[in-house]
A and B are shown apart, each in its own frame.
Chain A
Amino acid sequence: MALEVSHVVGGYSQIPVLKDISFDVRDGELVGLIGLNGAGKSTTINHVIGLLTPHKGTITLNGVTIDQDSQAYKQQIAYIPETPVLYQELTLREHLEMTMMAYDLDQEQAWKTAHELLKIFRLDNKLDWFPANFSKGMKQKVMIVCAFLTQAKLYIIDEPFLGLDPLAVNDLLNLIEQRKKTGASILMSTHVLDTAQRYCDRFVLLHDGQVKTEGTLSELQAALPEAGESLNDIYLSMTKVDRA
């Protein structure tokens, strides 16, 4: 059990956005976090990466909570934000180097991985560029390269498919597949449901700060038999229940 979120109540202020949320992500598993705008996906992610502290409940990552040992906890996580954020004063090369330093990676080994990743995302000739010169998609690729540079146990990817070109989306999915084989887990939030349906092992459907349903596609289909076949149909029916 890599990540275990249990009975988390939390949010940005005293008013909770998340109302008693529980789910888990197992080793070597890609879990899709699905929900409408404002359903609580980003809030959940912010709790998992430790930017927010839960009011109630616990988040455990391979047996460690952030309060027990924040370094050991953070060491296991790599995060790709929805909107890329970079240090304006650092070049691409320096971002990579900084990531290696922060995660205490072996420089030689890490640079080897880095060059492979840079090649995949066609950034290998832009090592001395500043973030200001990158387009949004390129910045997102920089985030991906930095995240996959670390040998994290849990990758948290917030809406990766918007803004990336189709080639990069494909490369990212390959990378995810590759890391899953080595036992890493991935928690990914997205609105691109048909891609999610094809690649995710399990789904957590968030609605209004609560976990509506959770499970593999066939489990979801069994739970909501009248909803339809695809993830898209299930998702739509789930939101309709609430609207009615």
Chain B
Amino acid sequence: MTDLFKSRLQRHLREMAKYLRLVFNDFFVFALMFLLGGLGYGYSNVLKQLKMGLWWAPVIVVLVLLVTLQVGRFATLIEDADRVFLLPKERAMHAYLVAARRYSQGLAQTTQVIVVFLLAPFLRVALGWSVPQIVGLLVAQVILKDTLLRLDLASAYQVTGQRRMNEWPIKWGLGLVALAIGVWLTPYAAIVLAVLADGAVAVWLQRHWQQQQIRWREQIKIEDNRMLGIYRFFDLFTEVPMVEGTIKRRHYLDWLFKSIKPTHRQTYTYLFSRGMVRGTDFSGLVVRLTVIGMLLLYFVRGEWLPVLLAALFIYLIGFQLLPFFQQYDDVVFTHIYPIAPELRLKSFEHLVTLILGVAALLMWIIIVVANLSVTTAGIALVVELIEVWYLARVYTPRRLARAMKNKA
């Protein structure tokens, strides 16, 4: 079983490495270095001005450590099929879970150490702590994290009814009590408390796991959510196939569809409009690009620069919308409905015109407000109109018609 975890871990790490390479591209690393440099400089400036005896200093320390304590989840790498294939191996799964916890320690404890390390100058300056005291706090923090991960492991088993040992009041409460004692009394007391808690959970687990079943469905869900969180993060930088858009009913936007009459010609307008509004993939993209464009345009002044910027954003939105045309290709009815392909294309053109039109209008308003210049407003209006017309009515249908022909 430990071997199974090892082979899964290897696969997992390879996958993560693949994405991390994409996330930490040159541009991002550059930006990150600037950000870290700036933050470090700011922190050192704050430290210089600090005096001892501030009432809020220990509160900050407790809060920071408490939040840090929750960072680093129990990564089991359990998969959906496991509840079928590994069910007969339930007892042997304990070794797997222990291996998983050992792996989870790595990232979790590194985070704890880094944060305490970063807090060390603050502890020295604001609380006047000695080095042994700080080291004591670090030890307490690490043991506390160990306890929390052990609670996660224990909660993989069905204990008493629906109650779980790693519910958030327990995790936060234990951390709060131990850290408060550590900061206001003495860190050594926190170590004692953490060791007691950790030991208690360990003894309990040792006694009980053999009689308990694993909460398969819950563990699978937890792991899925954990991975989804990671993929969502990667999705900000690059395309991740595992992140599927979710669907929201969005009742409050139903008025948008009122003008779409239920006629044969409008069939795809009916589908596309609802898909666009209720799906989060494409609508999110459009909204994000429009908002970023508007923000940038508010701060950019000049005669031609805003016009170029707006044109760029409209192009980006229009270009990103193209794949939406194929969104329903894997629903068989898209091919079976007795609807001429031209009508589908027309509906899509219509939708693109509308979306680009609204985005262009919003950006144009910002240009007008930010620049208060008749010339810029005029040029922007003309350029945007031509661009929207060209993208929606000429470029999009030409591209999609070619794509359709290639497929057939």
Q: How far is the CB of A95 from chain B (nearest CB, A)?
A: 9
Main secondary structure of the interface of B (DSSP, over half): mixed
B275 with A101: CB separation less than 8 A: no
A101 with B263: CB separation less than 8 A: yes
B335 at the interface (CB under 8 A from A): yes
**A98 with B267: in contact, given A87-B328, A107-B262 (CB under 8 Å)?**
yes
Encoded as 1 (CB less than 8 Å from any A CB) or 0, chain B from 324 to 339 comes to: 0000101111011111
- Which residues of chain B have C-beta atoms less than 8 A from A107's C-beta? 262
- Which residues of chain A have C-beta atoms less than 8 A from B336's C-beta? 49-51, 74, 77, 79
Interface residue tally for chain B (C-beta within 8 Å): 24
- Which residues of chain B have C-beta atoms less than 8 A from A101's C-beta? 262-264, 266-267, 270
- Which residues of chain B have C-beta atoms less than 8 A from A89's C-beta? 247, 274-275, 278-279
Query: Which of A70, A73, A86, A101 has the largest number of chain B CB atoms within 10 A?
Result: A101
* Bound complex: CA A6 to CA B267 (Å): 33
- Which residues of chain B have C-beta atoms less than 8 A from A79's C-beta? 332-333, 336
* Bound complex: CA A70 to CA B338 (Å): 7
B316 at the interface (CB under 8 A from A): no
B31 at the interface (CB under 8 A from A): no
- Which residues of chain B have C-beta atoms less than 8 A from A85's C-beta? 330-333
B361 at the interface (CB under 8 A from A): no
**A104 with B270: in contact, given A89-B275, A130-B249 (CB under 8 Å)?**
no
Encoded as 1 (CB less than 8 Å from any B CB) or 0, chain A from 82 to 115 comes to: 0001111110001001101111100100000000
Partner of A102, one of B249, B274, B338: B338
Q: How far is the CB of A128 from chain B (nearest CB, A)?
A: 9
B170 at the interface (CB under 8 A from A): no
A51 with B332: CB separation less than 8 A: yes
B275 nearest CB neighbor, chain A only: A89
A132 at the interface (CB under 8 A from B): yes
Q: How far is the CB of B262 from chain A (nearest CB, A)?
A: 5
B338 with A71: CB separation less than 8 A: yes
- Which residues of chain A have C-beta atoms less than 8 A from B337's C-beta? 74, 102-103
- Which residues of chain B have C-beta atoms less than 8 A from A94's C-beta? 270, 274
Partner of A104, one of B264, B279, B335: B264
B265 nearest CB neighbor, chain A only: A101
B262 with A97: CB separation less than 8 A: yes
B274 with A90: CB separation less than 8 A: yes
A22 at the interface (CB under 8 A from B): no
- Which residues of chain A have C-beta atoms less than 8 A from B328's C-beta? 87
- Which residues of chain A have C-beta atoms less than 8 A from B247's C-beta? 88-89, 130, 132
**A86 with B263: in contact, given A98-B270, A103-B338, A132-B247 (CB under 8 Å)?**
no
A132 nearest CB neighbor, chain B only: B247
A75 at the interface (CB under 8 A from B): yes
A215 at the interface (CB under 8 A from B): no
- Which residues of chain A have C-beta atoms less than 8 A from B71's C-beta? none
B270 with A97: CB separation less than 8 A: yes
- Which residues of chain B have C-beta atoms less than 8 A from A72's C-beta? 338
- Which residues of chain A have C-beta atoms less than 8 A from B32's C-beta? none
A163 at the interface (CB under 8 A from B): no
Partner of B335, one of A51, A75, A132: A51
B271 at the interface (CB under 8 A from A): yes
B60 at the interface (CB under 8 A from A): no
Partner of B338, one of A74, A88, A97, A98: A74
Q: How far is the CB of B363 from chain A (nearest CB, A)?
A: 27
* Bound complex: CA A51 to CA B338 (Å): 13
- Which residues of chain B have C-beta atoms less than 8 A from A90's C-beta? 271, 274-275
* Bound complex: CA A190 to CA B329 (Å): 26
A91 nearest CB neighbor, chain B only: B249
Q: For residues 237 through 277 of chain B, which have their beta carbon under 8 Å from a beta carbon of chain A?
A: 247, 249, 262-264, 266-267, 270-271, 274-275
Encoded as 1 (CB less than 8 Å from any B CB) or 0, chain A from 177 to 197 comes to: 000000000000000000000
A102 with B339: CB separation less than 8 A: yes
* Bound complex: CA A177 to CA B336 (Å): 24
* Bound complex: CA A103 to CA B266 (Å): 12
A102 with B275: CB separation less than 8 A: no
- Which residues of chain A have C-beta atoms less than 8 A from B36's C-beta? none
Q: For residues 310 through 362 of chain B, which have their beta carbon under 8 Å from a beta carbon of chain A?
A: 328, 330-333, 335-340
* Bound complex: CA A87 to CA B334 (Å): 10
A105 nearest CB neighbor, chain B only: B264
* Bound complex: CA A89 to CA B331 (Å): 12
A137 at the interface (CB under 8 A from B): no
Query: Which of A50, A85, A86, A132 has the largest number of chain B CB atoms within 10 A?
Result: A85
- Which residues of chain B have C-beta atoms less than 8 A from A50's C-beta? 335-336
- Which residues of chain A have C-beta atoms less than 8 A from B263's C-beta? 101
A81 with B270: CB separation less than 8 A: no
* Bound complex: CA A51 to CA B334 (Å): 10
* Bound complex: CA A48 to CA B331 (Å): 17
* Bound complex: CA A49 to CA B278 (Å): 30
B335 nearest CB neighbor, chain A only: A51
Query: Which of A50, A88, A94, A132 has the largest number of chain B CB atoms within 10 A?
Result: A88
B340 with A71: CB separation less than 8 A: yes
- Which residues of chain A have C-beta atoms less than 8 A from B338's C-beta? 70-75, 102-104
Q: How far is the CB of A115 from chain B (nearest CB, A)?
A: 16
A102 with B332: CB separation less than 8 A: no
Encoded as 1 (CB less than 8 Å from any A CB) or 0, chain B from 261 to 299 comes to: 011101100110011001100000000000000000000
B331 nearest CB neighbor, chain A only: A85
* Bound complex: CA A87 to CA B332 (Å): 10
List the 8 closest pairs (A to B, CB-CB), nearest first. A74-B338, A102-B337, A75-B338, A104-B264, A101-B267, A89-B278, A89-B275, A71-B338
Beyond A79-B336, A90-B271, 13 additional pairs, beta carbon < 8 A: A49-B335, A51-B332, A79-B333, A81-B332, A85-B331, A86-B331, A87-B275, A89-B278, A98-B270, A101-B262, A104-B338, A107-B262, A130-B249
Listed by A's residue number, 16 A-B pairs whose Cβ atoms lie within 8 Å are A49-B335, A73-B338, A74-B338, A75-B338, A77-B336, A81-B332, A85-B331, A85-B332, A88-B247, A89-B274, A90-B271, A97-B262, A98-B271, A100-B262, A101-B263, A104-B264
